[in-house]
Amino acid sequence: MNRAAVLAALASAALFGVSTPAAKALLGVVHPVILAGLFYCGAGIGIALLRALAALALNAPAARQQPLARQDYGWLAGAIALGGIAGPVLLMLGLARTAAATASLLLTMEGAATALLAWFVFHENFDRRIALGMACLVAGAATVSWSGTPTIESFAGPLAIIGACVAWGIDNNLTRKVSLADPLQIAQWKGLIAGPVNLLLGLWAGGSLPRELAMLVGGLVGFVCYGVSLALFVVALRHLGTARTGAYFSTAPFIGAATAVIALQQPLTVQLVAAGTLMAVGVWLHLTERHAHAHTHRRMVHAHAHRHDEHHRHSHGPQDPPGEPHAHAHEHDALTHSHPHVPDMHHDHRH
């Protein structure tokens, strides 16, 4: 298990979880779709500035990461359309027609949708231990999201929220397809495209731009809690696969609730303790996974940031960058061996 990637996934969840109490504070003065647009605009602009500063500081245009390739843009466009635009719009339509308690519980389906799509559509490997861990994490998210007896007055609202969860589940699986590319570049383009589109949709829906201070706060929250969170999420996708990354990301509601207890001095409840226990069990099941068997790596040529580990033993030409880690196109020969692994970008074989 790549512990650095696990920490990246949990940090991504923590940052996104913190955005929930921040969004609740801003929703009193900002239209929901406008706020989503501000968050994404802040993410795109902030990450673009961060990339520029990183390039200057490291004196390397790509900052040791491989830029998006031509074949990546189709996957990224699908991820932006579904996760950055369709998901938020469906959520807002659903929230307008659904009780808060019902909506909170339905939103926990994103983690389940991500995992189910990864397992049964994109054929990512899993076993009973991973499935049980995912179930504990989703149950913990549902527990912390419980805010009263859920009711369904009409099916339109809940179906829209379920549609949003499915859209985000597909988004996560499509983003994994481009996760070998620069995570900051992926976050930048997602923010710069989804942000203005959501702003226009919010204005069309009757919203208006807030005062300068609210716009600034929304942009800063978007940069940290959406932009940096997404970049960390992409790093985790690269090394852990979609389902496992989505499982760790399911801790976001608990982290948001725990933040509210600390920052907003809300009471610590039995519900929150129960949710934390379920999530701790789920994370432990995933962290202690050991999956090892003889497997064959097919021959492939691709480009991404790497070190010369057991999967990257190749020669270099005069144009390849020195030092490690570095990014350049390289070839993997066919190889059969056995070692513990997870379904990262080098282990997407069938079982």
Residue type, 101: A
Q: Residue range 8-19: average pLDDT?
A: 87
Cα separation, 32 vs 199, whole angstroms: 10
Tell whether the model's pLDDT for residue 175 goes beyond 50.
yes
Q: Residue 36 — very low, low, confident or very high, per pLDDT cuts 50/70/90?
A: confident
Mean pLDDT along residues 8-14: 90
User: Position of tokens 């999201």?
Assistant: 145
Average of per-residue pLDDT across 294-323: 69
Contacts of 201 (CB under 8 A, 6+ apart): 33, 37, 85, 89
pLDDT digits (tens, 9 = 90+) for 185-216: 999 999 999 999 999 999 998 888 888 888 99
User: Which tens digit of pLDDT belongs to each residue from 208-266?
Assistant: 888 888 899 999 999 999 999 999 999 999 888 888 888 888 887 777 777 767 766 66
Which of residues 124 and 326 earns the better pLDDT score? Answer: 124
Top pLDDT among 32 and 305 is at 32
Across the range 119-139, mean pLDDT stands at 85
Per-chain mean pLDDT for the chain: 81
The CA distance from 137 to 149, in Å, is 21
pLDDT reading at 169 higher than 50: yes
- Pick the residue with more confidence: 61 or 251? 251
Beta bridge partners of 294: 338
Q: Are 225 and 18 in contact (CB under 8 A)?
A: yes
C-alpha span between 276 and 270 (Å, rounded): 10
Instruction: Give the lowest-confidence range in 27-31, 210-214, 328-332.
Output: 328-332
Count Cβ atoms below 10 Å from residue 55 Cβ, excluding itself: 14
The residues, any chain, with a CB within 8 Å of residue 137's CB and separated by 6 or more, are 111, 247, 248, 250, 251, 278, 279, 282, 283
Beta bridge partners of 295: 337
Cα–Cα dist 312/28, whole Å: 52
Q: Of residues 25 and 218, which shows the higher confidence score? A: 218
Alpha carbon distances (Å) from 212 to 32, 42, 346:
17, 13, 46
- 3 state SS for 171-212: HHHHHHCCCCCCHHHHHHHHHHHHHHHHHHHHHHCCCCCCCH
100 band by pLDDT with thresholds 50, 70 and 90: low
Is the CB of residue 49 less than 8 Å from the CB of residue 223? no
pLDDT beyond 60 at 42: yes
295 vs 293: CA distance, rounded Å:
6
Does the pLDDT value for residue 349 go beyond 60? no
How far, in Å, are 47, 76, 87, 192 from residue 80 at the CA level?
16, 6, 10, 10
Q: Which helix (H) or strand (E) holds 330?
A: strand 326-332
Range 313-317 average pLDDT:
71
Mapped onto helix, strand or coil, the DSSP state of residue 332 is strand
Calpha distance 96→103 (Å, rounded): 10
Q: What is the pLDDT of residue 62?
A: 43
pLDDT at 199: 93
DSSP 8-state symbol, 337:
E
22, 110, 249, 265, 306 from 259: Cα distances, Å: 10, 21, 16, 9, 35
Q: Which residue type occupies 216? A: L
